[in-house]
Amino acid sequence: MGLKNFAERSIVTAGIGLAFHLIQTRQNPIDWGKEKVNDVRVKVDQYQEFQASRRAVQHNLTKLQEAIQNAQPVITDIQTDINKFEFKIQPRVAKLNDAINRLNGQDSTTHE
């Protein structure tokens, strides 16, 4: 019995609240109903757009992850080439630093 009374009172209270709202906003129930149906349609459309955008982002993220994975060997090769180049030019860089230090009047045995 308690649950039945609670449900009845809730429905009556909601109806009174709706009637009060309609009076305050000077709307008739048909216009209010149409407005709410339109609001629901707008929300459904927004949700569908959101889901489509989410799927597009997920798809693009997957493509990005694949591209990064495919690029990894190239990145490794480039880093290897850079390391080889640095090793090859190291003696020349040391000579240049010595020459700069001599021009600046510093001892060639001290390196920064």
HEC-encoded secondary structure of 76-111: HHHHHHHHHHHHHHHHHHHHHHHHHHHHCCCCCCCC
Compute CA distances 60 → 48, 71, 74, 80, 93, whole Å: 18, 16, 21, 30, 44
> What pLDDT shows up at residue 74?
93
Question: CA angle 15-44-41, nearest 5°?
Answer: 55
Place of tokens 């060639």: 108
Tokens of 45: 């459309």
Q: What is the DSSP letter of 108?
A: T
**What's the number of domains the chain is made of?**
1
Q: Is residue 110 part of a domain?
A: no
> What pLDDT shows up at residue 107?
60
Q: Is residue 62 part of a domain?
A: yes
Q: Is residue 109 part of a domain?
A: no
The chain-wide mean pLDDT, for the chain, equals 87
Alpha carbons 112 and 94: distance in angstroms, whole number: 11
pLDDT digits (tens, 9 = 90+) for 27-66: 787 887 888 899 999 999 999 999 999 999 999 999 999 9
> What pLDDT shows up at residue 18?
76
Q: Is residue 63 part of a domain?
A: yes
> What pLDDT shows up at residue 1?
61
Q: Is residue 111 part of a domain?
A: no
CA atoms within 13 A on the CB side of 14: 6
pLDDT interval class at 110 (50, 70, 90): low
Domain interval for residue 13: 2-103
pLDDT at 109 over 70: no
pLDDT at 89 over 70: yes
Q: Is residue 31 part of a domain?
A: yes
Q: Is residue 43 part of a domain?
A: yes
Q: Is residue 108 part of a domain?
A: no
